[in-house]
Chains A and B, each alone.
Chain A
Amino acid sequence: MDILINALEQMFTPATAAFAIAAIGLNFHFGLTGLLNMGQAGFMLLGMYGYAISIREGLPMWLALLVAMGAAILFGLLLGWPTLKLRGDYLAIVTIAASEIVRYVGRSNTLVDVTGGSLGIKGKDYKGPLEELSPFPDERLSVGPFTYHGSASDSWWLRVVAWSLVALLLLVFWRLSNSPWGRVLKGIREDEDAVRSLGKNVYWYKMQALIIGGVIGALGGVIWAHGSAVVADAMGRPTTFWVWTILLLGGAATVLGPVVGSVVFWAALSLVRAVAKEFIPESILPSTAIEPFGLMLVGIALILIVVFRPQGILGNKKELAFHA
């Protein structure tokens, strides 16, 4: 029973929301436009740094959010400029390389005064402004089986903010993907040359998609930072791959896919860990092996989804986003 409650809890954590947001961003890249952005973790990390450092230096929260989004816009411009004219896998390699550069630079000792090196930035340096806005009392509250603090860190307040943001971004995605603009992006995904022959500036449309998705990724990073802390190594390549698994699991190019994917992903991962811990004896699966064991299953799940159900849980087989 505890296992089930725990899994239920995992469905609505701020981290689940943060990954859903990052996957919505990736849905603009991959689902709508067919861009292979393998550096979504880099966008998230830049958003986290932009936000946390601005607040630590005394800027107000709305300005810090603008800084986070601005960092993502610059990063998107920088990445898109050389690669959006090239074949798809070039973008994949460059985005993954660039997001690793962000991580290397962030964790480097050279910049320890700015980014906090590999230890990162502590929550108390940047969580204040959002927590002060909380209408909830400053104590632990229980609703049913769930108990969290009202407003500090991993709190009810953060859950409300995070999931409201998810709802808002879903609305944005739904409206944009059905707009004339979204239809051009889908056209680029299906047949770039056809869209180009209609006189559309394909390069610039791709750039817009890359930037919008990246900005949304940065917002996901800000939410994630509020739930835990700003640490460069938490945003390595595995994070990008999880976001991909979430998007493909839920269904690329669908509105609700990223959210369904994220909820199912984190609940399933929690279930697997708990069940493995409970029912497999220590001599066969030592407790240090449970984490890699769970993540190994994530990898296998990703392979199976892509091979057998590339449209994901919600997707439409006709609107497959994989085009070579």
Chain B
Amino acid sequence: MFTRPDRRFYRAAALLLVAAAAFVIATLVIGGGPADAETVEPVAAGTSTATLVIQNVINGLAFGVLLALAAVGLSLIFGTTGLSNFAHGEQVTFGALLTFFLSTNEQVTIPLVPGSFTIGLPLWLAAIIAVIVSGGTGWLQDKLLWNPLRKRRVAVLQQMVVSIGLSLALLNMLQWWMGASRHRLTNASGGRITFGDFYIGTQTLMSVVIASIALLAVALFLLKTRLGRATRAISDNPALAAASGIRVDSIIRLVWVMSAALAGLGGILLALFDNGAGFDSGARILLLMFAAVTLGGLGQAFGALVGALVVGVVSEVSTVVIAPDMRYASALGILIIVLLVRPQGILGTKERVG
């Protein structure tokens, strides 16, 4: 299912650009709704709707890239195993909270271990360790849970309900560990870069650059390496891949490690973008990740990127017209509309899906 970007890709991308432009123009025309005054980061009062929309597009693209990084693992796992993993949101949270745990100067605790202590590593080191440990949880999960389930030939839908149970367990474990409050990874305000009427936070810019590099690395891995080719082969046809000598189980193990690590990294960068993370920040964006993956076409690795950019831009730009506390609702609404007209997603091939 992972194809090289070909004509179809460019056609879809062009279509998407036109759609996005139409959306922006439509917002400009309708624009200036009740929410102007209370957007998340209001530009100086008195700016025109056009400026506001473009600023929101910038924020939305940044959010979209980070969302894509968090969601690409969801897409990889779906592609290779057919599982819609509802516990993916908790992997995202885990990366962010572990980074906080390792780098904060506050007292931290571990459940069931009495006493508190401070670790206080530098942020970059904490983040690297958190990504590695996240990958480790992916390995462990596949080793202890998913691989045995596949061996027992448990149906995919049954596995999906298992992942829901896992999500519920992990979410509450995280709350037990870190409490219900939000935690900031860094207190530095970072400042912002302005160009003309628009700006982007330095922290956000750095997060976006790191995320783009990671996404590029994933793309190169899938397209250029033998392991990446093997992964795509399994997505296309697991039985055939096994018959041609690909070790399906080890590749799937690798996919789990990769997607958990990417989710962890995505969580850290989203926490920087969002000024903090709580025990439920991954759960909050789980549906946006599903929307991104489904929009792009379930199981299409590059689809996750396209879908996430759409979700990011739509949710941010919609705040121009509707109240900011409903912006995620608009992204989920887009998901339902796209499924109506193009159920295979933007990049998906036209095949019978029901």
- Give residues in A with beta carbon < 8 Å to B: 36, 81-83, 85-90, 92-94, 96-98, 100-101, 104-105, 107-110, 237-238, 241, 244-245, 248, 283-285, 288-289, 292-293, 295-303, 306-307, 310, 322-324
State which of A104, A292, A306 has its C-beta within 8 Å of the C-beta of B173: A292
Is B291 interfacial (CB 8 A cutoff)? yes
Apart from A82-B340, A92-B160, what are 18 other A-B pairs with CB-CB below 8 Å? A87-B353, A93-B291, A96-B290, A97-B335, A100-B328, A100-B329, A101-B332, A104-B326, A107-B325, A110-B322, A289-B111, A296-B173, A299-B165, A299-B170, A302-B164, A306-B161, A322-B155, A324-B155
The interface residues of chain B lying within 8 Å CB-to-CB of A92 are 84, 160
Q: Can you list, as one digit per residue, whether each of B316-354 has a CB less than 8 Å from chain A (1) or not (0)?
A: 000000110110110011011001100100000000011
The range of chain B's interface size is: 35 or more
Given A110-B34, A295-B172, A302-B165, A322-B157 contact (CB < 8 Å): yes
A238 to B168, CA, bound (A): 7
The interface residues of chain B lying within 8 Å CB-to-CB of A289 are 111, 176
Q: Is the CB of B162 within 8 A of A108?
A: no
State which of A89, A90, A110 has its C-beta within 8 Å of the C-beta of B157: A89
The interface residues of chain B lying within 8 Å CB-to-CB of A81 are 340
Among residues 242 to 283 in chain B, which have CB atoms less than 8 Å away from a CB atom of chain A?
283
The interface residues of chain A lying within 8 Å CB-to-CB of B294 are 90, 93
Q: Is the CB of B169 within 8 A of A300?
A: yes
Q: Is the CB of A94 within 8 A of B329?
A: no
A303 to B336, CA, bound (A): 29
Is B149 interfacial (CB 8 A cutoff)? yes
Shortest CB-to-CB span from B310 to chain A, Å, is 14
The interface residues of chain B lying within 8 Å CB-to-CB of A86 are 339, 343, 353-354
- Give residues in B with beta carbon < 8 Å to A: 34, 84, 111-112, 114, 145, 149, 154-158, 160-162, 164-173, 175-176, 179-180, 283, 287, 290-291, 294, 298, 322-323, 325-326, 328-329, 332-333, 335-336, 339-340, 343, 353-354
Q: Is the CB of B353 within 8 A of A295?
A: no
Q: Is the CB of B176 within 8 A of A110?
A: no
Q: Is the CB of B336 within 8 A of A94?
A: yes
For residue A324, which residue of chain B has the nearest CB?
A: B155
State which of B114, B165, B169, B328 has its C-beta within 8 Å of the C-beta of A306: B165
A301 to B84, CA, bound (A): 20
Shortest CB-to-CB span from A83 to chain B, Å, is 7
The interface residues of chain A lying within 8 Å CB-to-CB of B168 are 238, 241, 295-296, 298-299, 302
The interface residues of chain A lying within 8 Å CB-to-CB of B158 are 306, 310, 322, 324
Q: Is the CB of A104 within 8 A of B165?
A: no
